[in-house]
Every structure is written in C-alpha cells, then in structure tokens.
Structure 1
Amino acid sequence: MRTLAGDENTRVGSRLADVPEPDVPEAAVAATGGTATLTGGPSQAPRGRLAALRARLPKDLRDPLFLNGYALMFNTGITAVLGMGYWLLATHFYTAADFGRNQAVITAMRLFASLTALGLTGALARYIPMAGRRTGGLIGRSYLIAGATAVTAALGFLLTLPIWGPNYSSLAGFGPGLFFLASVAIWSVFTLQDVALAGLRKATWVPINSICFGLVKMGMLVALSASLPQQGIFVSWIVPTAIALIPVNYLIFYVLVPRHVKQTGSVTKPPRLREIGRFLAGDYPGSFSILAIVYFVPVYVASQIDDVTFGYFSMAHTLGSMIETLAMNMAVSLTVEGSFNRSQLAANCQRALRRAFMIIGPIAVATFVGAPLILAVFGPGYAEHGVPLLRLMALAVLPRVLIEIYLSALRALGEARRLALVQVGLAVLVLSGAIALLPVMGITAVGCALLSSELLVAALIFNRLRKILSAGGAPEAVISRQTAETA
C-alpha cells in the first residue's frame, strides 16, 4: 500500500487544459442520519452505474486525474489476478508450513523496505510536478535515503531475530541475512519507482511492469519448488523484482525525466531542500502510522501464531489489502493533480470519490459474498480460517474510500497537522484493537479492528470532507494562507 502527500498550489507548463473542467460538478456527499450518501442524481442499480462508467470512460481517459487513477487501479487488478495465480501455485507446490514461513519473511521485508519509502512517496508525488531540472536528483536521492534507512532497520531486526518467533528462524546466518538485507533495499526502490511514474504522469507504465513482473515471478516460483522448497517463494519474489528495476529506471531517468524537464523546466520553481524537509517532517508521522497498519500488524501476528495458521491469515489479508489498495490508487492520482492545479481540488475530489465508489463498491460486495469460494481455491484450510477476515476487510474498504480522499485533500491543502492526526489516530485504533482482540478472536481480530476503526474515523472526518466537496470546498482562504507560507 502507498501514501502520497502534497501541500501547495502548482501549475505546470501552463497546461490548464490537462486538467479539464469537472464533468460531474453536481456530485456531492450528503449527510442523512449520520450516514454518508453519494449523490448526483437518482440512485442507480449497479448495472446502470457500470453503463454510466463505460459511457464516460473515453472522456475520463483524456483527463490526467482519471487516466493515472485508472492506470493504478488497473495495475491493482492485474496484480490481484496474477497474485492469486502466484499464491495458488505456491499453495500447490509448497507445504502449508513453508508457505506460512515465506509469507512471514516477505511481510517483514516489506515492512522495513517501506519505513522511509512510504514517507518519500508523498514527497515524490508532491514535488515531481514542480521539480523541473532537479527531478532526476529528487528521485535518485529518494531511492538512496529509502534504501539506506531500510537496510539499517532490517539489520537491527536480524540482530534481534530470536525475539520475533520461529517463523523468522530461516533468516539466521550470514548468507540468508545478507540476502534479506539486499531484498529490503531492492523492494524500497521498487516501491518508489511506481510513484515516480505516477508523479511524471506516466502511471500507464505501471501495469506493464506488473504484468511482466508477475509472469516471471510465477515461472520462477514453480522452477524453484524442487531445488529450494523452503525458501523458493521468497527467492522467486525478490529476483524478478531486482530484474524489473533495470528497464523501469532506465525509462524513468533516461526518457521520462528529460522529457519532463523539457516540458516544465522553464515554468517551475524547483523546491528547496528546506521546503522538502519541512514537508516530510509534517507528513512522515502520519505515513509511519499507516505503515504500522499495513505491515507491522501482519509481522506482529506472525510472531504470535504458528506458520500454518499465519499462511491462512496472510492469504486472506493479502486479498483484502488488494481491494484496499484500489481506494488509495485514485488518491494517488488526486494528489498528483492537486499539485499540478489545486484550483480544481474540490471538483477533482468529487469526481475521484464518485468513480472510486462506482468501481470499488461492487468489488467489495462481490468479495464479501464470494469469500468462501475465493479462498477455497487455495485449499479447505484457507476457506475454513480466512473467510471472516476477508469479509471484514472487504467491508472496511468502503469507509476507507472516504478516508483516503479526505487525506489527499488535506495534503493538497497543506494541512499537515490534521493529516497526521487522522493517520495517527487510525493507526492507534487499529493496532490497539488487533493486539487486544488477537488472543480472543484469533486472526479475525485484525478484520474487526480494521472495520471498527475505519468506520469511526470516517464518521469523525465526514463533516470536514463534505465542506471540501462543496462548491467552496477548497477554501480560498486556506489556499491563500498555505501559498503565502510556502512562497
């Protein structure tokens, strides 16, 4: 999962035409009995909504907000399909215990790789549109900082390995430990490169990368099942990732960045290091809190349960997280477009919220209803233990849409304190709930903690979100104050 940030009004290359006037200005959110209702005409059946989406698709694809948002959503869909195929092969070619242990190691690797990368994704999305001739340096320094921080934290994890439980015992020793550290560095760059593409308004390349990465990963998974039965899943995850870094970053640094500099270099004011540092100081606490929800919770669960049970948990959690990522993808594009032209923030929020619910709503419902069938594909144990967790995570996606759109609006308005407060509050609720309920409810505790916490936070931020979505939703007073502060 990627959290982006932005806090100041920027117009790039005099390209106002790149951010068209809103096609659905009447869309709004109304409060009825404390319940969020998306309005914009009479309620429609799901079939009617899908037909309306298809009718608007050609126009949407000419709009950078939706083109990037749809590309990232499509990437999530591709990742989900290939991911299900990958995990299906993993459950077939590897034992349940090996599956669980490898999942635990992958989760830990992603936790440490994201420690700084998650915060830097916000800086990339926020400042690439205005970085001009410094764009390449901004991306390169982000890679270096993220990789160095991640490796340092992972080294501390390896030095304290015994306290993390038997699921991580495979990392003991110099060779496995060194491979883990390299994997953490690789994944930190892999995390940032997709955001760099989105910041350059080229998120359409992300699905292509995911398709190639997924297919190679699946082939290597099967090939290693006989020679590396205990580590094959983790190795097949990392080696294709390392290979994918080469062509994608060649594209970024030698094709897209020079083109971006040529188009925007003469009309942008590159951000100063002090400005970026101030932004990171305000945004990172919130990003770190989201990191705790996405990655630390699974690592904590892995330290408390056996490898087989963690395999059941991780499968349901992975699928639920894929749906949740859809909510964040439109927020990614919203943040980027807010940086290019913040005067359209209210309209873009309306449109992003409307499209997000039209796409994510049916997926969440289908996942809730079909959870037993989905998990049964991987084996009877996965369906028996994972269905309640997957259903709860599918429901939690709906309030998460509201939260993510709200957070993106706060980033575009530069309200770092409010942004951090919401994110930290959500993380505290989820973590405390999961830790308290895990001994009582087992792995289902994570789903209960997510759903209850996100419903509460969505209710608390609803009135403020409604003001942002209104005609004066991006208050001129707020915009003027933030622009003056960063001038």
Structure 2
Amino acid sequence: MLRTVARDSLARNSVLIMGSTAGAAGLGYLYWLLAARELAQPAIGTATALISVSTVVSMVSNLGLGHMFIQRLPGTGVREWSRIVSAGLLLGCGATVVASFAAAGVLPSLGGNFAFLRSFSGTAALVVTSVALTASTLLDNVFVAHRASHGMLLRTLALAVGKLATLAALTRAGYGGAGVVLLAWTLPSVAVTAYTLASSLPRLRPGARPAGAGLGAELRHVQGSLSGHHLINLAQAGPTALLPVLVTARLGPEANGHFYVAWMTASMLFMVSPAVASALYAERTNSAAAGLPRASAVVLAVTAPPALLLFFAGDRILALFSAGYAAEGELLLRILVLAALPDAITNLVVAHWRSLGELRRCLRLNLLMATTCLALTWLWLPGTGIEAAGIAWLTGQTAGAVAVGLRFLSTRRKAPAG
C-alpha cells in the first residue's frame, strides 16, 4: 500500500494534502477543546464569529490566484516564477486588506451581532487574521503546483502546533477573552508565513527571490484568473465560509459557537475530496495522466471509516468539549456526515471539468449548489436552529450531484454507438 502511494503521484500528493488538512484539523480540534475548557462561551462565540468573517474576506479577496499558481508555475524559469509568486502574494494580500476594512465598515450596520467590529481592536484583528489566511492559502498552492505537498504538510503542522502552544501559554499565564483566541490563532500564521518566504520557497525553487518588477505584467493574468477560476472558487467555497456568518447573523455568536464545533468536526470528511481534486488538477497541469476512477477510489477509501465513526459516535466526540456542545450539535453532525458523499462527487467533477477548460460548466454547477444552500439556510435558521444549516448544505450538495448524474446520462445518450 505504502509503495503504491509512493509511486503514484496522484495518490501521494492527495495523501499529503489530506495529511496537511487532517493534521491541522486534529490539532485545531485540540485548540478549540482547550479554548472551550479554559474560556467562557461568549468569548468563544465572538472569536469564532471573527474567524468566520476573516475566512469569507480571504476567500473573496484572494482573486483565484492559488489556481493560477497551479496552472502557470510548472515549467517556468526562475525569474518568471519569482514574478508570478511575488505579484500573486502582493495583489492577494493587498486586496484582502481592502476587503477587511470594507467588511468592518459594513457588517456592524447590518446586525448587532457584529458590533465587535466597530472597535479598533476588532478591525485590526479582522485585517491581520484575513491577510494571514490569504497568504497561507496562496503559499500552500505554490507547493501543490509543484507536486511538493510535503512542504504544505510541514507548513500546516508547524502552524497548527504553534497555535495550540500559544493558546496554552496565554491561558496558563492567566489571560482570557476572545482576544486571546485570536492572538493565538494569528501570531503563528504570521511567523510561519515569514519563514516560508525566507527559507522554504528558495529551497522549493532554487534561485527564486521576491520580485517587485513586472507587477503590471501580471495584472492581465490576474484578470483572467478573476473572471475564471476565482468565480468558480467563490461559488464552491462560499457556503463553507458563509454558513458560520449566517448562523451568527440570524442566531447570534453563542449559537455559532455550537455550530462551529460540529462543522469543524465534520470537516475531516469535507477535506478529503477537495484534497484529491487539487492533486488531480495539479497532475493534469503537469501533463500527467490521472483519471476520475482512480481519484474516486482514493476518496472512498479515506472517507468511509471516519464517516462511520462520526455518524455513530459523533455525540461522544462533541461531548469532549462539553455536554452542551453534544446536545446542540449531535443531529447537525449526522446531517453533515450524510452530505459527504454528494460533496465528494461534485468536487471531483469540478476538478475534472476545470482541467478540460470547461469553466462555465464548473461555475454553473457551483452556483446551483451555493444558491440552494445559502438561500435555504437564511430562510430556515430562525425556525429550525443550527440544524437548518446542515439540512441546507445537504440539499445543495445533493442537488449538485443530481445535476452531475443527469449530465452524465445526457452525455452517454449523445455518444455514438460502437
């Protein structure tokens, strides 16, 4: 088994990407477990609300540059490589700063649950956290582009360990409140990003160095990424990032704390198919043969065991936080587990279509799922509670999987016989 993974580039990079996400999720689980035990629920609710907003801001403002890296970096010379990466990081982080200030100015006027963004400290935390997320996302995609996902794994583990260690140190020193959670979340991100820029990237691409020249020449490529890959990414990742924000807006930060823990627990399932999809796309941009059946087999083998565990023992896992988290999130977690199968189908199909250049088809599918999920979540939350977000997510993913199935049947009927 290990020899097969080592020889198969798709399997190897899929496993490394999943390992990165799993390591971050596992250590992140300990992070939130420690926070839940050491800090009051209102502080957790406020911190998760701000991190949720930062995730949305970063997602909106990274301009689809990660997929542009995967598409353009393989095979480029050192000077062009340096220009592409430097311009991407500068433009992505700059756009994130602008979007952060815009969010801090708009969200408090839309609902009292975001009043914490009116303060200088709240705005500063939003800007720093959002920029750190954007830089981390883009740097991860640089490693994926070169099928060097071990670099992403080391970065992610260092980041997760740093967050946990910082939180433990601050709480042991007697500090409390939402600011502690955010400080422990953000400081390691800044440190690991700085180390990656100074040390890891030069090892990945010997001779590469930051390049300010040629920024204008990259704007054309960024515009193409913005109108293509970025719209697909927004429609695909939008519900993932927006659901906690909608829960906060409709039910408040405390309810979002319960939702966030269940959502984070289920994320160990939702990380698998995006990881394999990214590896599949990277394989094809590097002119390697990689098919959907092989990618599907990897997803099924990795997803099935944890899905069964979460479905039948999820309440006991949530109870590690407290009995309240288990009582509030048990049903939601089971609903999210059921959504893992249609989610995997749509993620792999989008990666397949993206590699074939069928970007409009990708966008239409993702828009169908996103619109269904977000609209139903907004309508159902007040009357149903946090379970509404899970039901809406399951409904949106199922609608996408059904659309893929209908497309497949239509293509088979049109195919010439023989």
Structure 1 length as normaliser, TM-score? 0.78
Query: For residues 118 and 299 of structure 1, do their structure 2 counterparts lie closer, same or farther at Cα, with a shift above 3 Å needed?
Result: farther
- Aligned counterpart for 1:414 among listed residues 343, 350, 357: 357
**Inter-partner Cα distance in structure 2 for 1:279 and 1:181:** 23
2-structure distance, mates of 1:302, 1:204? 36
Residue 40 (structure 2) aligns with: 95
The answer for the alignment partner of 1:171 in structure 2 is: 117
User: Which of 183, 202, 223 is residue 148 of structure 2 equivalent to?
Assistant: 202
Conservation of the 8 A alpha-carbon contact between 2:250 and 2:382? no
Paired with 1:143 and 1:252, the residues of 2 have a C-alpha distance of 15
> How far has the Cα of 1:429 moved from its partner?
0.8
Is 1:58 matched up with 2:3? yes
Give the total of aligned pairs: 404
* Equivalent in the alignment of 1:108: 53
Structure 1 residue runs of 5 or longer lacking an equivalent are: 1-55, 262-270, 474-487
- Bigger share in helix: 2
The CA distance in 1 between the partners of 2:345 and 2:281, in whole Å, is 15
**Structure 1 counterpart SS, 2:62:** helix
Shift of 1:182: 2.3
* 1:462 equivalent in alignment to 2:405: yes
Shift in Å, 1:223: 2.5
- 1:140 maps onto 2:86 in alignment: yes
Match of 1:233 among 163, 173, 181: 181
- Alpha-carbon separation, structure 2, partners of 1:414 and 1:177: 39
Q: Measure how far apart 1:272 and its partner are.
A: 8.0
CA contact (8 A) 2:92 2:134 kept: yes
* Distance in 2 separating the partners of 1:64 and 1:368: 32
Offset of residue 388 of structure 1: 1.3
1:396 corresponds to which residue? 339
Asked whether 1:382 is paired with 2:325, we answer: yes
Q: Distance in 1 between matches of 2:256 and 2:100?
A: 21
Q: In structure 1, which of residues 320, 324, 328 is the aligned counterpart of residue 274 of structure 2?
A: 328
Residue equivalent to 2:18: 73
Give the secondary structure class of the aligned counterpart of 1:258: coil
Partners of 1:113 and 1:151 within 8 A in 2: no
8 Å contact kept, 2:70–2:282: yes
* Deviation of 1:164 (Å): 4.5
In structure 2, how many angstroms separate the alpha carbons of the residues matched to 1:371 and 1:84? 14
Cα deviation code 1:24-82 (max 9, x no counterpart): xxxxxxxxxxxxxxxxxxxxxxxxxxxxxxxx331221222111110011112212211
Higher RCO structure (Cα 8 Å, ≥6 apart): 1
**2:201 paired with 1:253:** yes
2:164 is the alignment partner of 1:218: yes
CA offset at residue 101 of structure 1? 0.9
In the TM superposition, residue 463 of structure 1 has moved relative to its aligned partner by 5.2
**1:193 aligned partner:** 139
Task: Report the equivalent of 1:244.
Answer: 192
Structure 1 SS opposite 2:205: helix
State whether residues 136 and 253 of structure 1, in contact with CA within 8 Å, keep that contact through their aligned partners in structure 2: no
Offset of residue 466 of structure 1? 7.9
| 1:429 partnered with 2:372 | yes
For 1:286, the equivalent position in structure 2 comes to 232
Query: In percent, how many aligned pairs have the same letter?
Result: 24
CA distance in 2, matches of 1:335, 1:317: 26
Letter in 2 for 1:309: A
Q: CA shift at 1:283, angstroms?
A: 2.4
- 1:250 deviation in Å? 2.6
Q: 1:61, 1:465 → 2: CA distance?
A: 32
1:113–1:184 Cα contact (<8 Å) kept: yes
Match of 1:46 in 2: none
Q: Quick check: 2:262–2:329 contact (8 Å CA) kept in 1?
A: yes
CA gap of 1:156–1:442, structure 2 versus 1, over 3 A, is same
Q: Pick closer, same or farther for the CA change 1:118–1:330 going to 2, 3 Å.
A: farther
Q: Is the 8 A contact 2:105 2:118 kept in 1?
A: no
Question: How far did residue 300 of structure 1 move?
Answer: 1.7
Contact 1:116/1:145 (CA < 8 Å) preserved in 2? no
Note the C-alpha offset of 1:449. 0.8
Distance 1:227 1:113 in 2: 28
Asked whether the 8 Å contact 1:115–1:291 carries over to 2, the reply is no
The separation in 2 between residues aligned to 1:362 and 1:466, in whole angstroms, is: 30
Q: CA deviation at 1:252?
A: 4.2
2: CA distance, partners of 1:428 / 1:341: 34
CA contact (8 A) 1:283 1:419 kept: no
- Structure 1: distance between partners of 2:169 and 2:113: 24
Residues of 2 paired with 1:416 and 1:382: CA distance?
Answer: 40
Cα distance change on mapping 1:242 and 1:58 into 2, 3 Å: same
- 1:81-132 Cα shifts (integer Å, max 9, x gaps): 1111111101011011111111101111111122132622221122222433
SS at match of 2:400: helix
Residues 413 and 101 of structure 1: CA distance in aligned 2, closer, same or farther (over 3 Å):
same
Q: CA deviation at 1:167?
A: 3.9
* Amino acid of the structure 2 residue aligned with 1:282: G
In 2, distance between residues paired with 1:323 and 1:190? Answer: 21
Counterpart in the other structure of 1:40 = none
Q: Is the 8 A contact 2:41 2:254 kept in 1?
A: yes
**Cα gap change, 1:381 to 1:353, in 2 (>3 Å):** same
TM-score, scaled to structure 2? 0.90
Alignment of 1:351-390 (within 5 A): 351-390=294-333
Alignment partners' CA distance in 2, 1:129 and 1:372 = 45
Q: What runs of 5+ residues in structure 2 fail to find an aligned partner?
A: 210-216
Change (3 A) 1:414 1:85: same
